[in-house]
Each structure stands twice: as structure tokens, then as C-alpha cells.
Structure 1
Amino acid sequence: MTQGPWPQQPPASPAPASAEPLLTRDYDANPAQVHERLRKIYGPVAPVDLLGVPVWFVLGYEEVLRVLQNSGGVWSKRLDRWKAHATGRVPADWPLHPVFAVNNSTFQEGAAQRELRNAWTAALAPFQNHGHPQAQQLEQAVAQYADDLIAVLAEGGATGVADLAAQYARPLPLMVANRMLGFPAARGEDVVMDIWRMIDAGPDAAAAFERLYAAMTELAEAKRRTPGDDLPSHMIDAKPDITQDELARELLMLPGLLDFTASLVCNVVVEVAANPDVRESLSVGAIDETVNRVALLNPPMANLTFRYALTDVKLGNYTIAAGDPVMLSVAAAHQDPRFAGAIDWHAIRTTRAHLAWGAGPHNCLGQLLATRITVIAVHRLFKRLSKVKLALPADQLPWRPSPFMRALRSLPVQYELAQAPAPARRGPDETPAPQPPVSDEAAGKPARSPLWSFLRGLRRQR
């Protein structure tokens, strides 16, 4: 065993009594400090308590990458491989149960997983391959949605204060989800809000999952009867034998991907607003590089869902017993001195070797889509607003408590509209945005959508 400050004879698995809680106020405020402390005590793998359940927390870049790539076939994502869960030692009311209960291709392996991922690849292609007309139309729609959201801010005047998380970054991907899934707008809004509840592992996570599953089942049935030019219909075309249950569970992944995108948009806005040099670089077309840099510095999916050892395996300074869970920390891996120390942080182009999009058989298939939405969202925001100033110091911004996501609870800014806003144009075949931004109140009509009513309510409250 490697010599160092870690225990010389570690146990085969973390005992609940000896594993310290991971999700504390310190972790919510500054996870990097917690990562550094755990690394100094235990090395690249640490025993922690995750909401009452003992878990191995993997902090080392090489160790995280090794598990993700799984070249030796010693790691599984199947829930039935988790010994403590199979033997009833995980409490029935454990807050993260709904996340693992989804049981879609995220938690599968082998032929079944490959078939579903092939269906995803085919279904996403029209939306994220730039040469496809539907991808070009989606890009135009994203720009229009962004302008519509900014127009709601503008209804309050040329200057003001806004929460760009609630009023821009989070609703924008919601609108994209509605379009891609083929949901009616209000129904899609409910779905994404329940995705947030489930990911954040709050007290209503279980109820949120039940509603989500019911909504996606209804959608799967509707698209089977009446196909459209949307993601569920493309998945059915790619895998005609997909069952209603399989399709419903797969569709739950898209709003989650787009919530990841919302967090990435927020994190990029903070990076640009807090650094004048970065803002200046946007004028020379460096948004893609800024997005990549932020994915490296502050990945929205900070920790990944569990993998389980299929046999006793050495990882870091411990032997992980068969059936034990490991939670891979992408954020901690990026801070690993063995990785971070080799990066030139002053270079114009940053490394693509980061793990924000995963790696191996479960890497993110929607990377191009999420990146493109983020680039358009950031471009339109700083095109339409001449001033975006953080209303709080960057290190005092409030974060959502979550075991997986590193996402802002709010992003308060002072803003000023550009003198000559340049709204994006729709193409001749482009579908209009779900709801126009024209003030319904000013027109003497009721608000047309719960989302727009909510957003205008936020504007009035500020």
C-alpha cells in the first residue's frame, strides 16, 4: 500500500460509524475545500456518509477515469449489484432512491444499454448535427427563446436587477425540452420542475418521480399513436421494439440534461461577468472556449451516480469490496494536483481532457446539444445587455444543495440593455416560440402561460 498520511490498514468498506457526512454546510459553501481536506486525510478515495448511507467518494482524476472507462469490466451501474441495497440495509426513505429508481440506460450495461444508446444517438442526431435542417431550426428557436426572455426583463425598463438563474438560464432549456419532447408548454414546465425536485433529493423527490414517470408514459403513448418531428418519435423510429415503459424512462433523461445545461449557462455567465478579460474575449468569438473552461473549472454535474464493484478491487489506498458503491467526483478530479498541475491555466485554449461530459460507456451523448444551447444563450445575453454586473461577490452566490449538481440557487445581477438590441430572426419554416413575450397585461389580456406569468411576477417583485 502507498505510504502517506492515510490509514495504513484501511477497512474493506466504510463503516457508517466511521464515515463522515459529505453533504454539510461546508460542502455546500465550498466543496473544493472539503475535497482538499478529504484528499489530505485519505488520498484519492475517501469513505463518506451520503445521507445516512456509506459510500466510497472518488476524488482522484486517474481513479475517476479508470472507473468511468471500466476497461476491466469490474464496475457496474446496475442497482441490483449494490449489496447493501439488496440486503435491505439502505433505508426505504433514503432521499436518493427516486434517482436510482429511474432504471433507464444510465443504470444499465451490456447489450440492452448499447441498444438504447444507439437509439439515443439516432434520435439526437437531427437536433445536434449542425448540417441537419432540424438542428438549424432548433438553434434559431433557442436564440428566439433567449430574446423572448430578455424582452420580459426589458418590460421593466432599460436597467434593473434580475435573477438570471430563475428568469433566464433555467427557463430557456425548459423551453427547448418542450420543443424536443413535443409537450404542451404548461405540461413541459411541470415536468422540468419535477426533474429539479428529484435531482435535488428534497422531501418531495419520491412524489416528483411518480409524476414524472406518469407524464413520460402518457407522452410515450401519445407519440406511439401520433408520431411527430420530435425526440420521442425519433427514438421509436430508431428502436421500434422499445416498450412504453422503456421509452418513458429514457425520456426522463432529456430534462435532466437540459437542467445540466441551465447550470452551465449560469456558471458561464458568472465567469464572464466576474472577469472583464473574459467578457472582452467574447467579441472575438471565444464563447466555445469559455464554455469549455467553465466545464473544467466548475462542472455542473459535480458528482456522478454510483458504480458498484463486481469483485474486490484496489482503488486508491483502499480495497473496495464487491458490492460496495463508489461515487465519482468530477469536480474533485479536476482539482487533483496530478491533473490540475499539468494544465496551463493562462493558455487561450484549455484542455479537453476534463470529465465534465463523462467518459467510457456512459459518456454524455448530448454534449453537442448542451454546448450549443449554452453558447447561444451566453451570446444572446451579452449581445442584448451592455452591462451584466454580479449583485453579489462571486464567492457569495447561493448554491442549491444537491449531492450531484453544482448549480446556483439564484444569480442576482444588475443589468443594462444595449442601445440597439438585435433580436434573432426566425427562418421561414421556424416554429414560433411557445409564448410570445409581448406583455399580455399591457394588451388587456390574461397571461398566456404559467411560465410567462411566473417570470413577469419575478420581474415585478424585484
Structure 2
Amino acid sequence: MTNGPWPLQSAETMASMSIEPLLSRDYDTNPGLVHERLRARYGPVAPVDLLGVPVWFVLGYEEVLHVLQNKGAVWSKNVDRWRAYAEDRVPAEWPLLPVFQVNSSAFAEGANQNRLRAAWTKALAPYQEHSHPQAQLLDQAIRQYADDLIGVLSEGGPTGWADLAAQYARPLPLMVANRLLGFSAARGEEVVMDIWRMVDAGPDAAAAFQRLYDAMTELAAAKKRRPGEDLTSYMIEADPDLTLDELARELLMLPGLLDFTASLVCNVVVEVVSNPVVRESLSVGAIDETVNRVALLNPPMANLTFRFPLTDVKLGNYTIAAGDPVMLSVAAAHADPRFSGALDQHAIRSTRAHLAWGAGPHQCLGHRLATQITTIAVQRLFARCTRLKPALPPDQLPWRPSPFMRALRSLPVQYQLADTRVPVSREAEAPVARPSSPDEAAAPQSRSPLWSFLRGLVRAR
């Protein structure tokens, strides 16, 4: 897998090389330029510094696909395979370390990984098979959530300014997560707010994670006692031997998938409002194609979590030592001239050979769910708005700094709503949480934190 003029290097260690930081102002502004600079200097695999830790950064499409497919079972995601980590050479305060220490199927291997993924496959099936009643009910719920969120925007008037990231794209998938998991209304809204605190990695992220873990554990215990028609109960039915700790850790993966979905919604909206050809395609029902095109051209999960080779392997123009961390860049792989050069950048129908959903043993099991949410979100937004105009040029939009996600921090737009009334749900109509039990009904009702927050954004405009 060596292409280009770069000489094949011996197995020199990254510690002996002069390497540049990956994350920088240039990377936040335009990661594509950084990718091409690294590709020109090193080829399809480059040594980089990731927040003080040396990492092999894979930019080539063939190389990324090769590692993802893992046909020879050479590549592991288990953090214990990381040589520097096993030797206590990774600083305990390294900010990304907690990401790799989560003991879930995302980092499992072998029989344990197969067992957990089998439970996910069975539990997700009712929501991803369009003929299943649960999938149809979920479709209706997503449309209602979308209309509710747009309805809150309309409280500020039929025209105005909005941040579609904060007021639409981010809350919608997390409302779906609340429904899928089977939380009560009030408890679910607390969870949604903590999910935001966790994924935004603010000062209270660690406390939010602990509350989320506790909430997932309590939910798993409740569903073991009294199953329902929800993802948590379906996971238990698929594998009754799952422990409460295993269930909690697996369920914590769902918000991550749906925050990815929120970023995909934003990226699709940007593509539609800035590209008249794509906007025209929506009128002929090609939303699925637009979502696929954006997943190819601007994948929200730009870089994947580490893989570690179990033995010395050649990759690109280097020999990667066993236990070295390898970070796969989906965004850079999609821009690899060996892959992108064969694509028609102006075609409405784009290839499905992209890597936005991964590949191989760890391929995303919820990609149909994420696509469904994104498609409905975009469809309802443009059906309800007769005009959407970006407040900033695409190259001036603010992005959230992240080594993994390519996600907008905000998406300011000027909107004009169609002159149609759409019924809103009880939760959105009154910003007070509905009681989920007789005991809760007897207690003083508290204002809904989610809808109060969203209405506060409207008033703050």
C-alpha cells in the first residue's frame, strides 16, 4: 500500500521524529488544507502530535479501509493494546483518555464484541426496518419533534433569525434518544440536558457523565423489572445476561450516535442553502441522495478513535510498531486523490463507497436510524420554511474544536415560515413537564428544562 514518491521508512519510533501538532487554528478553520500538507510531506500515513501524544494519522482511502476491514485481525481498539498506555507513559490528565477507557462494544473485540453487537442488531431492528410498527411510530414521532421545534421558532414571529444548530439540529436527535431509551418525560429531559453538557466537554462534563451513567443504570434496572416497548427493553430481551453495568455503558453510546446525527443535519442544511442545484433536488424528493452526498463530502465524524496493531505492520510509507496508536481520518480519506479523483463532484447521486459509517467489524449499526432522522429533519425544515438564508458565508461558519467531530458550533440563518399552522405536542405547547406517575402528579410541577431553554433562545434573539 505504498504510492507516490515518498521513500519507505524503517521502523523508527515516533518519539525520535520531529512531528507537528495536528490540532491548530489552521485545522479548526480548514482541516482539508492540513490534510493536504501532511499528505504532500508524508504520503498516506503521517506522524502527528495529538494534544501531546504522538499518533500515526492515516489519510489514504485504501489505508483507512484496510485498517477498518481488519481482515487479518491485526488491529485492535482495546486501549490495553496501546503500548504507551500499558507502560504508564500516557499522562493521566490527557484530555482524551476517558474516551478510550469506556468499556463498551465500541472498543471490544472477539467474542465479547460479537455478543454486544448482536444485542444491538436485534434491538435496533424494530426501528430500522420500515415495515415494523415501531419504525412507523418512530417516524411519526420524529416528524412531531421537528414540527414542535419549528413551532417554538415561530413564537418569535413568522420571520426572524435563528441558530439552527442550537434550536433545531441538536435537540431533535436527543429527543429521539430520550424516546428510544424509554425514559419518563421529566427524567428524559434531565438526561438530554446532561448529554449536551457531556458532549460539549465543558467544566461540568465529568459530573454530567456520572449522572448519565447513574441514569442509564437506573433505567436498565427498571426495564429489567418491567420491560416496555423501547430500545433498552429490546436490548435486555436480545441478551438477558447483560449486566446493569454493561447495559449502562452500551446505552451511553446512543447519545454519541445522535450527536453525530445533529452534525449531519447541520451539514446537510448548509449544503442545501449554499448550493442551488442541491436545493432544487429536494423538490424532486432526492433528500436521501443529499444526505449521502454530505456524508461523503463533509463527514461529521472526521476522525475515528484509535486502533492499535498487534504486531509490526507496514502501512503507507512506514512500519508501524505493535501498540502504536493509529488514528483514521475519514475526511482525509474521502479527499484522497486516489478516491476523490474518480468521483463526479457535481453529480446529485454520489457513491456509497464512502467511509462515513465506517466499515468492517466496527461499522456503525445505527446508520439507517441516523439517516432517517436526518432525512426527516431536513424535509420538515424546508417544508415549513419558504425561505432560509445563511447569516454567514459557508467559509466563515464557526466550528466546534474537536479531534474527532467536524461539527458546527452554531448555524445562524434568517428564516421565513410558511403560512400554515401545524399542531404541536403537549410537551411543546406548555413548558411544564408532564407527570409520569401518580406520585409525580401529586408533586408541584416544574418547568420543563428543555423547552424553557429553547424558548429562552427565542427570547434572547
TM-score normalised by structure 1 residue count: 0.93
Consecutive aligned runs of 4 or more in structure 1 exceeding 2 Å deviation: 1-13, 16-19, 184-212, 436-440, 445-448
Q: 1:347 deviation in Å?
A: 2.3
Letter in 1 for 2:219: L
Deviations 1:392-432 (A, max 9, x none): 001111011111111100000000001235x38xxxxxxx9
CA distance in 2, matches of 1:219, 1:367: 24
**Cα separation, partners in 2 of 1:190 and 1:95, compared to 1, 3 Å:** farther
CA distance in 1, matches of 2:122, 2:328: 28
Deviations 1:433-452 (A, max 9, x none): 57133577xxxx99841111
Letter in 1 for 2:454: L
Structure 1: gaps (5+ residues)? 425-431
Deviations 1:301-352 (A, max 9, x none): 1111111010000000110000111010000000000000011122231000
Which position in structure 2 is the counterpart of 1:177? 177
Letter in 2 for 1:187: R
Which position in structure 1 is the counterpart of 2:428? 436
**Cα separation, partners in 2 of 1:3 and 1:389, compared to 1, 3 Å:** closer
Letter in 2 for 1:172: L
Maintained 8 Å contact 2:189/2:448: no
CA distance in 2, matches of 1:335, 1:211: 39
Q: Which SS does the other structure have where 2:162 is aligned?
A: strand
Q: Which SS does the other structure have where 2:12 is aligned?
A: coil
Matched, 1:293 2:285: no
**Cα separation, partners in 2 of 1:439 and 1:312, compared to 1, 3 Å:** closer
Maintained 8 Å contact 1:99/1:198: no
Matched, 1:413 2:413: yes
Q: 1:275 deviation in Å?
A: 1.4
Which position in structure 1 is the counterpart of 2:372? 372
Q: Which SS does the other structure have where 1:229 is aligned?
A: coil
Q: Which SS does the other structure have where 1:160 is aligned?
A: strand
CA distance in 2, matches of 1:75, 1:196: 32
Letter in 2 for 1:107: F
Which position in structure 2 is the counterpart of 1:427? none
Maintained 8 Å contact 1:302/1:405: yes
Which position in structure 1 is the counterpart of 2:139? 139
Which position in structure 2 is the counterpart of 1:456? 455
**Cα separation, partners in 2 of 1:454 and 1:270, compared to 1, 3 Å:** same
Maintained 8 Å contact 1:198/1:206: yes
**Cα separation, partners in 2 of 1:56 and 1:434, compared to 1, 3 Å:** farther
Q: Which SS does the other structure have where 1:15 is aligned?
A: helix
Q: 1:14 deviation in Å?
A: 1.5
Which position in structure 1 is the counterpart of 2:162? 162
Q: Which SS does the other structure have where 1:291 is aligned?
A: helix
Letter in 2 for 1:112: N
Maintained 8 Å contact 2:8/2:318: no
Deviations 1:184-233 (A, max 9, x none): 34433443444455445555544443232222111111111121111111
1:301-450 mapped onto 2 (5 Å cutoff): 301-421=301-421, 423=422, 433=425, 435-437=427-429, 448-450=447-449
**Cα separation, partners in 2 of 1:332 and 1:248, compared to 1, 3 Å:** same
Q: 1:16 deviation in Å?
A: 7.6
Maintained 8 Å contact 2:173/2:258: yes
**Cα separation, partners in 2 of 1:346 and 1:253, compared to 1, 3 Å:** same
CA distance in 2, matches of 1:310, 1:7: 24
Which position in structure 1 is the counterpart of 2:239? 239
Maintained 8 Å contact 1:5/1:40: no
1:64-103 mapped onto 2 (5 Å cutoff): 64-103=64-103
Q: 1:51 deviation in Å?
A: 1.2
Maintained 8 Å contact 1:16/1:49: no
**Cα separation, partners in 2 of 1:205 and 1:12, compared to 1, 3 Å:** farther
Counting matched residue pairs gives 450
CA distance in 1, matches of 2:116, 2:68: 19
Q: 1:17 deviation in Å?
A: 6.6
Which position in structure 2 is the counterpart of 1:191? 191
Deviations 1:367-397 (A, max 9, x none): 1110011000000000000001000001111
Maintained 8 Å contact 2:9/2:319: no
**Cα separation, partners in 2 of 1:98 and 1:195, compared to 1, 3 Å:** farther
Which position in structure 1 is the counterpart of 2:264? 264
Which position in structure 2 is the counterpart of 1:13? 13
Q: Which SS does the other structure have where 2:242 is aligned?
A: coil
Q: Which SS does the other structure have where 2:47 is aligned?
A: strand
Q: Which SS does the other structure have where 2:153 is aligned?
A: helix
CA distance in 1, matches of 2:285, 2:169: 21
Which position in structure 1 is the counterpart of 2:46? 46
Deviations 1:232-261 (A, max 9, x none): 110000001111111111001111111111
TM-score normalised by structure 2 residue count: 0.93
**Cα separation, partners in 2 of 1:145 and 1:200, compared to 1, 3 Å:** closer
Q: Which SS does the other structure have where 2:161 is aligned?
A: strand
**Cα separation, partners in 2 of 1:353 and 1:8, compared to 1, 3 Å:** closer
Q: Which SS does the other structure have where 1:387 is aligned?
A: strand
Q: 1:174 deviation in Å?
A: 1.1
Maintained 8 Å contact 1:174/1:189: no
Q: Which SS does the other structure have where 1:105 is aligned?
A: coil
Maintained 8 Å contact 1:22/1:48: yes
Which position in structure 1 is the counterpart of 2:440? none
CA distance in 2, matches of 1:21, 1:451: 38
Letter in 1 for 2:448: S
Q: 1:4 deviation in Å?
A: 5.5
Maintained 8 Å contact 2:149/2:168: yes
Maintained 8 Å contact 1:60/1:332: yes
Deviation larger for 219-228 or 10-19 = 10-19
Letter in 2 for 1:109: E
Maintained 8 Å contact 2:193/2:450: no
CA distance in 2, matches of 1:38, 1:64: 15
Root-mean-square deviation (CA, aligned residues, Å) is 2.1
Q: 1:27 deviation in Å?
A: 0.6
Q: 1:52 deviation in Å?
A: 1.2
Deviations 1:32-86 (A, max 9, x none): 1110111011111111111111111111000000000000111001111011001
